[in-house]
């Protein structure tokens, strides 16, 4: 068991959605030296930015959570930059961790790395059995390359680097910009605005048939920290709730919790994305005792309440 409270810790992406909860949780556990590199000061797509971060923070433990992410629309518009920036950040960071003899490096992967038609539930050993779903393949392949690097560096250099793959996250502080958000914040915003505007219908993308698994962000933060403290293996590990819901049922649940009482219609001209997603979470429970604690309905209630309190003044006006 690694005592994180005694370590100098860097959390890349620590100002972002997941990262901010990881930072909060580390500090709540008594970690006093937690460094968050801001993009304006440290460009992690450049080696000189990474070296500046290492010089300033001298990390003993790294949580690499920084990523360029978005929903289906953002992935379709930015496939090149999503591939390059996610790949180059991780590749250079892992190399720097090797050069600076970092004690523990956690790389946050993505379930977008899984093949499009992975048998459900997704098992980690199925990662290489096909090509990812096309709309997010550049992002998924970039992340999967970091798994290869992590394992190769462990084999050649003895780098203690672990690779954890969170499922779709949601919760307070999420991105609610409809141009780049993921499905849950987009649905919450649309449902609340439709209710407040007195609209009688809410439009969803695709046909509602795909299924997804969601993990509440505070649970995810706890899972990553527990893995960093307790897991030292080379195998990738899924991090999820183990609960699968269709987009149709999800949209009806969000509408109910948001108070929207109109009808839901589907824009079948828009893509569905991957047909099903649910993770096998056996490894996380077996290797470091992680099990999600927050139900989807509880998490959605907390997320909706947070968004109502924190959205821009113009929303719903």
Which of the residues are catalytic? 139
Residue 14 DSSP SS3: coil
Cβ-contact 50, 93 below 8 angstroms: yes
CB 97, CB 105: distance < 8 Å: yes
Sheet strands side by side (includes 9-12): 34-35, 9-12, 61-64, 104-108, 161-166, 237-239
Distance in angstroms (rounded) separating the CA atoms of residues 174 and 168: 12
Residue spans of alpha helices (H) in the chain: 17-28, 47-57, 72-77, 79-99, 137-157, 183-196, 217-230, 247-258, 282-288, 296-310
- Paired strand residues for 237: 164
Q: How many CB atoms lie within 10 A of CB 55?
A: 9
Secondary structure (3-state) at 246: strand
Tell me if 136 sits within 8 A of 123, measured CB to CB: no
Q: How many alpha carbons lie under 13 Å from residue 270 in its C-beta half-sphere?
A: 15
């Amino acid at each position: 068991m690694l005592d994180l409270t005694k370590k100098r810790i860097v959390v890349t992406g620590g100002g972002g959605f997941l990262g901010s909860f990881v930072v909060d949780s580390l500090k709540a556990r008594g970690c006093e030296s937690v460094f968050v590199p801001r993009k304006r000061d440290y460009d992690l797509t450049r080696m000189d930015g990474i070296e500046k971060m290492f010089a300033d923070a001298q990390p003993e433990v790294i949580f690499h959570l920084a990523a360029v992410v978005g929903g289906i629309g953002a992935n379709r518009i930015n496939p090149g930059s999503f591939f390059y920036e996610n790949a180059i950040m991780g590749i250079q960071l892992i190399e720097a961790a090797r050069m600076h003899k970092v004690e523990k490096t956690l790389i946050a992967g993505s379930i977008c790395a899984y093949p499009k038609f992975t048998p459900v539930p997704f098992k980690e050993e199925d990662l290489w059995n096909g090509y990812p779903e096309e709309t997010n393949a550049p992002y998924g392949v970039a992340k999967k390359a970091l798994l290869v690097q992590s394992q190769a560096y462990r084999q050649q250099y003895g780098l203690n680097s672990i690779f954890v793959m969170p499922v779709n996250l949601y919760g307070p502080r999420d991105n609610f910009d409809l141009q780049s958000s993921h499905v849950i914040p987009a649905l919450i915003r649309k449902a609340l605005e439709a209710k407040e505007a007195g609209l009688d219908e809410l439009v969803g993308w695709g046909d509602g048939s795909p299924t997804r698994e969601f993990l509440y962000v505070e649970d995810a933060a706890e899972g990553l920290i527990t893995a960093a403290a307790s897991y030292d293996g080379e195998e990738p590990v899924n991090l999820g709730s183990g609960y699968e819901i269709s987009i149709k049922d999800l949209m009806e649940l969000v509408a109910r919790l948001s108070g929207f009482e109109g009808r839901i219609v589907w824009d079948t001209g828009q893509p569905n994305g991957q047909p099903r997603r649910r993770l096998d979470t056996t490894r996380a429970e077996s290797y470091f005792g992680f099990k999600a604690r927050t139900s989807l309905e509880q998490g959605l209630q907390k997320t909706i309440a947070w968004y109502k309190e924190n959205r821009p003044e113009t929303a719903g006006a």
